[in-house]
Each structure stands twice: as structure tokens, then as C-alpha cells.
Structure 1
Amino acid sequence: MQVTLEQVLDRLQENFFEYLRSVPSLFCDEVVQSDFGPANTVVKSVHSKTESIFRLQRKITPARKLELVESRDLKRVDGKAVSSGSLAGPAILSGAFGTGLAVADAAQEVCTNFRMHPMLTFFAPHRIVIEFESLPGSTDNPVCSTRRSHGRVFVDPETMRIRRIEMTTPNYDIVPKIKGNWVWSVDYDPVMLGGKPFWLPKTILSDATSYGLNPLTWTFEARYSNYHKLEVRSRIVTDGLTEPGPEPSETAPQAPKR
């Protein structure tokens, strides 16, 4: 039976909230290959390879709200060990493990125009393809993104989980005082954590190219593997003995009724 666009968006929203409620704190290996240089040449001026331990942690705010906090411990740069460090700027994409999954769901209809692509869906029976574009004036809506974007998502029809996100953001602030066109994509694969499957990033690609007569381009490819559940237990010390402490409670968003 052919599903409708509304049915797909509703399922994506339900699955997004279920993901927020259940995804555990985790860590994995992250390898990032990045390049920077003139856009009109194959050989880039600057190339680097970084290897890190990526972490996603569940945090409870003072308002008892759930946050998924991304962090990383930089281990090697171009094969050489480093004691500390971080990635920043165009060489990193944040949100792929959390809010990025909400790019296409029913809650975004006030900000975004969605269209199920029948031709792509027909020729790719193992995926549902939905195109999206920011609605005119949506950047003035406080609940919407401040940037206009367009792209598409590829959805697994059996699980209704996002397999791939592609997005283009024109007029993006790449670095201070430099704007350009930013194109990125994320591929997701199921990963077993605690005996339960979670669709988590496998590969992230990014290409940001500045405007002007002599454009510059920043590109990176990030790969994620070797996922593990991050076990964190609070402990109370009493008379020299340690006992497991209580687990903090949390409030995750609930899917609104439609």
C-alpha cells in the first residue's frame, strides 16, 4: 500500500521523539578528512586528518529538560598523537546525532514545504524520498530556522527511519565575514546498543564554497564506527564503602497529538 506524505511525516515525528527518549549516552571512533583551498583547483592548499573519540551524552538542564550534548576528545592529527584539542568552524557539523533528525517531520510543516518525489520513490523502491524547502517568510518565524535551506531525505519504508539527509544552505556564514553555499549530507545506519537498534551517523560530507571571483572551499568527510554505550553511574561514598547512586530523572519531549 502506498503511504501518503502526511503519514510519512507523522511517523518520522513519532520516531524522532522516541529516539530522543531512548538513545543512550554513547561514544565511538570519529575520523575526519578535511581540505581547504581555492575552489577552482583539484589540489587543495591545506589537508588534514583528525582522529577522535566522539561522545553523545544525555544531560538534564536545570529546567528538567533533556539535551543531547556532542563532544569529542582529539587523539591524533595527521597520524601524530596530541594531548588535547578540538575541532571547530567549517571542519565540523553538529546536530547530526540529535536535532538534525528533525529536519523532516510533521512539526516542521509550519516552516517547510515538503513534497514526496514519486519518480525517485518509484525507481528506488527500498527508500522513500521527500524533498523539502524553507517556506517564504519562515526565517521571520521564531520557531523556524533563521536560514533558508532546501534538500531531501531518504527514508527506510519498513522502519520509517531516516537513512540519508541532504541539505543546501545558500548565503551561509562560513567563517566571519565570508558567505557562501553550504552543501552537506549525513548517511545513517542501524547500530545495536543495549540490545536495541538506533539509526546513527555513519558518514558526514560537507562542502562550503565562498562567493566571489576567487572562491575558497572548505570540505570534510567524517566517518563514525565502533559505537559503544557510555555507562555512567553516580556513586555515594558511605563509611568507606561505595554504593550505586540514584539515576537522575529526565523529561524528554513528547510527540504532540495531531
Structure 2
Amino acid sequence: MTSFKWMLMICSLFSATNVFAVDPPIVGAAGNTVTFQAKKWTSPVVESTTAWFTANGKTFPLFHAGIGAQASPEWLSPNKKFLLATAVEYGVVIGENGEEIATSQGHCDVISMETGCVLAESYERFCEGKWVGNQWVSEEGGVLNPVLETESPKDLLKNASSIEPAQSRAESLEWSLSFLSPESYMACHPPAQNVQAYNDLGFYLAEDGRDELALKFYRGVEAVGKRTVLMLNIADSLWGLDRKDEAQRYYNQYRDAMSADGKAQKIPQRVIERTAHQGMKN
């Protein structure tokens, strides 16, 4: 019997990539662009592309590192606000004799050319069609009015909050976030409107050692404005990633903020120990 071992090719495959082509960017609303950069994986052999969104001088990936994507200029809506793209998740099937067999699952995704949000996804063949005005009509007769369908962080938390233990909860959240890049996800659900949700989301991820991903969401909240508890959470994740000098700066900011609020007695012992370590080093 064949068993499935879906690998987050995000790490194992991305580390073995090499760039071999970059297609001309697709230019949308306000001159914002999506660029597809071709990649080739050596084991298993898969050729694909990664998609990058650029607006106001800032560039970020639309999908996770293990997701291949492509699009045609004809898939850009007449008002240039939306772009359809096919995105493919790669994995491997473990055969009866233990051999690895490459496999994939495709989607048709709707990208906002204004924000870089991946608004929604459908089955792969949905991308076979045409724009009629600013509605996409598939060859099978399906009609798309581009609207946001990507699940909100509040809903993610609602679904995950009852999961125990912490490891299972973090795995569930990471899996839910394994398709879109954190940057695209936050373009769909801006941190300014989801401060508490992103802080909690990061905390749940960091709780089981997923500090790199947690930091992505913490940084999104930090760009909105510094909050005392956020400084502690950022410091803890930086410490977990062995970025201790940077972590200590955040611990100091947290400690100073707590003292200024008359809450020095509530500062966790680990903060005292880790900032004391800095003092001894200095």
C-alpha cells in the first residue's frame, strides 16, 4: 500500500534550487508588478517558478518557498487590479519499495495587484478561461468576482485555540499558513486591523519553537507600533533563534516599559537573567 509523506519542500527543496530564468514582470494597478522567477529542483526533478510582488519599492514573495507559480499577461484583468496565477504545491509519495515519487497539486489563485494579497483560490483548470469585463469566466462556465476569501487570523486562532498540546496547535497553524507567504497573508489581513490576533498567532507558533515564522508576524505588528508584550515576544523568539544580542535589546525595552508602568514586579525571571547576562558581558 502506498503511503503519503508530504514534505514541506519549503526547506529541503528550496535549499537545492538554482535560478535559471526571470520572466518579464506583469504590470498591474499603480505600476505594481508580479515577477516570476524560475527555479529548478534537483531531487526530485521539478521545474517551477516563484512569484514576487513589488509595490512602492518593496518586494515580497507571494507564496511559500516550496510553491511553484506562473501566469500569463492575458490573465491580468482589464482594470489591472487582479491577476490569475496557477500555483503548485510539490511533495513526494513514498512507494511500496520506499522510493520517492514526485507529486503535485495545482490551484488557480487570484492576486490583488494593488496589495499583493492572494485573495482566493480555486481548482487549477479554473485558470482556463477569459476576462469578460472585470469578471473571470472559466471554460467550464464558472464566474469569478474577485473578493477576499483567505481565512482571517482571527478565524485561524478560533479553529486552533482548542487544539492541545501546544505542538499540535502550532503544527495546525503552520500547515494553514504553508501556502501563502506571511507577507502576502498580511497584505490580505493588515496588521493594523489584527494586532492582537497576530500577536497571539506568533505566540502559538513560538510556543513550539517555530520562531522564524512567528517573527514574521511579530514584525508586522511592530511596524504598526510597539506594544509592551510584543517586545517580550520578539525578544523570546530572537533568543530562541540564538540572536541573543538583538534579543537583549528587546528585553531591555520590555523591562524599561514595565518599570515605567509600575509593573517591575511582574517582569518574568528569564528577562532578568538574560539582561543580567548582557550586563556581565559588557
Q: Normalising by structure 2, what TM-score?
A: 0.26
Which structure exhibits the higher relative contact order, with contacts defined as CA atoms closer than 8 Å and separated by 6 or more residues? 1
When you count helix as a share of all residues, which structure comes out higher? Answer: 2
Is the strand fraction higher in 1 or 2? 1
